Structure 1
Amino acid sequence: MALIAIEEHWNLPELTSAVQALPEDRGDPSVMLDGLGDNLERLHDIGDARIAAMDAQGVDLQILSLAPPGTQPLEPADARTLSRRANDIAAEAVGRHPTRLRAFSTLPMADPAAAVAELERAAGLGFVGAMVYGRTGETPLDDPRYDHLFATAAALRQPIFIHPQIPTRTVRDAVYSGFDPVTDLALATFGWGWHLEAALAALRLIVRGTFDRHPDLQLVLGHWGELLLFWTDRADSLSSIAGLDRKVSDYVRSNIHVTSSGMFDPALLRHVLEVTTPDRLLFSTDYPFQRPVKADIEKFLTEFPTDEDRAKFTAGNACSLFGINL
């Protein structure tokens, strides 16, 4: 049984340095999480050591993506330069390991026209989609300036993965502060805030009518849907108010795929299967931030109700969505 992991991170040292050099009001303190343990060493490797880690987990193929926050906090010129460089490096890695690696492109979202051009260039290089974040500065992903990007992604069959990002400084101060600095950061990122941000970005795209205009566009959300799938009953009430063609939950089932992100809790699987269909589920480990061992992965896979559903989750859905031939 093949196993394709689609949310597996790497990083570019010069990009990390550029983010760390930003003023506080534009920076992203979550980059400090890259330095915990041996994360940084693993993030910088997209060669033999990564392949060895995949072998140990039983993963046949990884889809590479830059760790947060990508290039989105940067000024347009820096975002363009470093996005292109990151994509060239990822393409080289895939070229060295064509049976083991694919990649999501990094886009200079501070320059919407350049983001479209880079998506087109990356698609030509064999990238299987793009990873973006829900906000660029103060501009949300559903802003009309990005509509051409989504039209292009739909036409090129390039799925867009919306990865979590840290809330704005104003929101962090109002909602996620009051503890010690490390707890504040954890609460605003992996403990809670990251996931609300990603869910809200996807929900705003739905409410904006993005999928009514671009019905072929496909999104991917990590962490079993970033809480969105757990609240569709209430979210459906937005559909008539926003003048949408369908219910929010219908768009979730037709235009959004969700990944496991290393969260191998059978209760999460059971709930998601009640909300969406088995052909919307994708395997991922969120490497190197989560590192489930092979035995844990194999145990979780026994929780699927049928062999067919299990095969879709492990590789079938990824092959279909991203055009991968094993």
Structure 2
Amino acid sequence: MIPPLITLEEHFFSHAASTSPTISSQYSEQFKHIPSLSDKLTDLSTLRLSQMDAGRVSFQIISHAPGSLTQSECRSANDQLSSAIKDHPDRFAGFAVLPVSDPDPGASSAAELVRCVTQLGFVGALIDNHTSTGGYYDGESFFDLWKAASDLDVPVYLHPTWPTQTQLSTLYTGNYPSSATKSISASAFGWHSDVATHVLRLVASGLFDRLPNLKIVIGHMGEMIPFMLSRIQQLSVRWGKHARPFREVWDRNIWITTSGNWSVDPMATILRNTDPKHILYSVDYPFAKNEDGLEFMRELQKSGLVTQEQLELIAYRNAESLFGVKAVKRYE
């Protein structure tokens, strides 16, 4: 019997995003290949709930899909999500989307995070992995955001986002169709290596020495890091003098999710080097299917890689502990 399931990399499009020509262009390949994607992204009620039931998802933490939004657009999107949560408080919780590309990103993002947590009841934030111009968050201009998250004791989910034009032309444009460029630079590979690099930058900057209780979540089976963990640990001694080594940060400050990666093979590696209490189930809806996630959990249960207790930790108990939400048993 599969235990109750909580998912937490599950996206929607706000009114602003659904009418943005830039965001529509970024998602052109997804719209082309994923049936009814637009309908699924913009729905925060009946369709989403039916899709959750199809994959036996008891509870979903919803976040905005990747794409740069202004400060006012972030506020509007968060208010829209808050309204949907109030209609279905037993099924939904929310991650804030933050204006990380704002001219004063740390202060404005921190202020919106505080508002969303203290006034709207959100359980953290999910933010684009870099700014619209390609900037990462290891600099002082973002410290206010990280400090706010630490002070509020809520996690920040660092989510892949679209490469800049410079990244596209330098790394991903080659002798193949433009559709291959879009895919390789995004969900096929580039997104994940980019998040992995960002996490290493945050550790190297000493951020976790300054904020030892900061909680970061990354998706897609750890964005490649578990498979390089030993080598990263070995070479991270060259990154400067830090009070807390890389492995300690990985063990205490980083959580990873399964989102959209439906093979038990990487899980075999992860379970050998990552605390099961830091692994969480997620789907990446609607870019991935809840039904595929359910089948993955069944395969994981049959694989012998986890005990029933560990399966329950991954399925829902870790999410309950980290985010203060509750999975009600709904399905037999």
TM-score under structure 1 length normalisation: 0.91
Q: How many angstroms apart in 2 are the aligned matches of 1:199 and 1:268?
A: 16
What CA deviation, in whole Å up to 9, does each residue of 1:26-77 have, x standing for no partner? Answer: x895322452321111000010110011011000001101111242xxxxxx
Task: Tell me whether 1:158 sits opposite 2:154 in the alignment.
Answer: yes
Task: Single out whichever of 260-269 and 116-125 deviates more from structure 2.
Answer: 260-269
Task: Tell me whether 1:185 sits opposite 2:154 in the alignment.
Answer: no
* Offset of residue 262 of structure 1: 2.7
Aligned-pair identity (%): 31
Task: Tell me whether 1:116 sits opposite 2:110 in the alignment.
Answer: yes
Instruction: Give the number of equivalent residue pairs.
Output: 313
What CA deviation, in whole Å up to 9, does each residue of 1:235-294 have, x standing for no partner? Answer: 221234321223312211111000001312111111011121000000001111111424
Q: Partner of 1:30 in structure 2?
A: 26
SS of the equivalent of 1:258 reads strand
Q: Partner of 2:300 in structure 1?
A: 300
Task: Single out whichever of 137-146 and 208-217 deviates more from structure 2.
Answer: 137-146
Structure 1 moving runs of 4+ over 4 Å: none
User: One-letter code of the match for 1:170?
Assistant: T
Q: How many angstroms apart in 2 are the aligned matches of 1:138 and 1:29?
A: 18
Gaps of 5+ in 1: 22-26, 72-78
What CA deviation, in whole Å up to 9, does each residue of 1:222-241 have, x standing for no partner? Answer: 00110112112232212343
TM-score under structure 2 length normalisation: 0.90
- Is the contact between residue 11 and residue 65 of structure 2 (CA under 8 Å) also seen in structure 1? yes
SS of the equivalent of 1:167 reads coil
User: One-letter code of the match for 2:320?
Assistant: C
Q: Partner of 1:199 in structure 2?
A: 196
SS of the equivalent of 1:162 reads strand
Matches within 5 A, 1:122-137: 122-124=116-118, 125-136=120-131, 137=133
Q: How many angstroms apart in 2 are the aligned matches of 1:33 and 1:130?
A: 26
- Is the contact between residue 232 and residue 248 of structure 1 (CA under 8 Å) also seen in structure 2? no
* Superposition RMSD in Å: 1.7
Q: How many angstroms apart in 1 are the aligned matches of 2:257 and 2:68?
A: 19
Q: How many angstroms apart in 2 are the aligned matches of 1:289 and 1:48?
A: 18
Q: Partner of 2:54 in structure 1?
A: 56
- Is the contact between residue 222 and residue 260 of structure 1 (CA under 8 Å) also seen in structure 2? yes
Q: Partner of 2:330 in structure 1?
A: none
Q: Compare relative contact order (CA 8 Å, sep 6+) and give the higher one, 1 or 2.
A: 2
What CA deviation, in whole Å up to 9, does each residue of 1:142-196 have, x standing for no partner? Answer: 1211111111101101100000122222221122112111111111001111111
